[in-house]
């Protein structure tokens, strides 16, 4: 399953292929945090061009992680993106990535204790992680 010469692919590698592109995870995180529109994904991401963003969204859609919704109400077209179940299943991965940074910030060089607590709660809330 791992790196031996058998034919069984490594499940970690398959997962990585889905998200191992510069902006992809951040976009997915944005969606967990409530963003749905093209222009919203561009906020706070200087350096993310239209071309790259639309490429990412197309890519995510092809991989079944998000879905594109087009509504046309009285001629007002609204395009939004939402996570699919398949995309939402990445919540634990995203959570562990965030926890890694928080836990490894041993001497509070980045966050103080209060911030760590708040951030942890925020992620658990938005990512629907049940505390243990």
Partner DNA sequence: CGGGATCCGGATGGATACTG
Partner DNA sequence: CAGTATCCATCCGGATCCCG
Q: Using CB under 8 A as the criterion, which residues of the chain lie in contact with its own copies when the complex forms?
A: 1-5, 8-16, 20, 22, 25-26, 29-30, 33, 35, 43-44, 86, 89-90, 92-104, 110-111, 115, 118-119, 122-123, 132
CA dist., res. 4 & res. 13, Å (int): 14
Shorter beta-carbon distance to its own copies: residue 72 or 130: 130
Three-class secondary structure of residue 35 per DSSP: coil
Give the residue from 28, 25, 29, 53 showing the smallest Cα distance to 39.
53
Any idea of the CA torsion for 19, 24, 27, 32, to the nearest 10 degrees?
0
Q: Using CB under 7 A as the criterion, which residues of the chain lie in contact with DNA when the complex forms?
A: 21-23, 37-40, 46-52, 54-55, 57-58, 68, 78-81
Minimum distance from residue 47 beta carbon to DNA (Å): 3
Shorter beta-carbon distance to its own copies: residue 40 or 75: 40
Give the residue from 86, 42, 39 showing the smallest Cα distance to 61.
86
Shorter beta-carbon distance to DNA: residue 53 or 99: 53
- The option from DNA, its own copies, none interacting with 88 (CB < 5 to 8 A, set by class) reads none
Phi-psi bin for 43: left (phi > 0), alpha (psi -120 to 50), beta? beta
């Amino acid at each position: 399953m791992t790196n031996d010469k058998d034919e069984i692919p490594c499940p970690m590698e398959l997962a990585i292929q889905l998200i191992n592109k510069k902006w992809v995870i951040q976009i997915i995180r944005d969606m967990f945090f409530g963003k749905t529109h093209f222009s919203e994904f561009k906020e706070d991401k200087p350096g993310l061009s239209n071309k790259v963003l639309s490429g990412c969204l197309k890519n995510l859609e092809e991989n079944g992680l998000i879905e594109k919704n087009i509504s046309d109400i009285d001629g007002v077209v609204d395009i939004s993106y939402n996570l699919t179940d398949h995309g939402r299943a990445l919540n634990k991965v995203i959570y562990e990535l965030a926890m890694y940074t928080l836990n490894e910030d041993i001497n509070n060089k980045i966050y103080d204790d209060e911030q760590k607590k708040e951030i942890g709660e925020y992620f658990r809330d938005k990512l629907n992680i049940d505390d243990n």
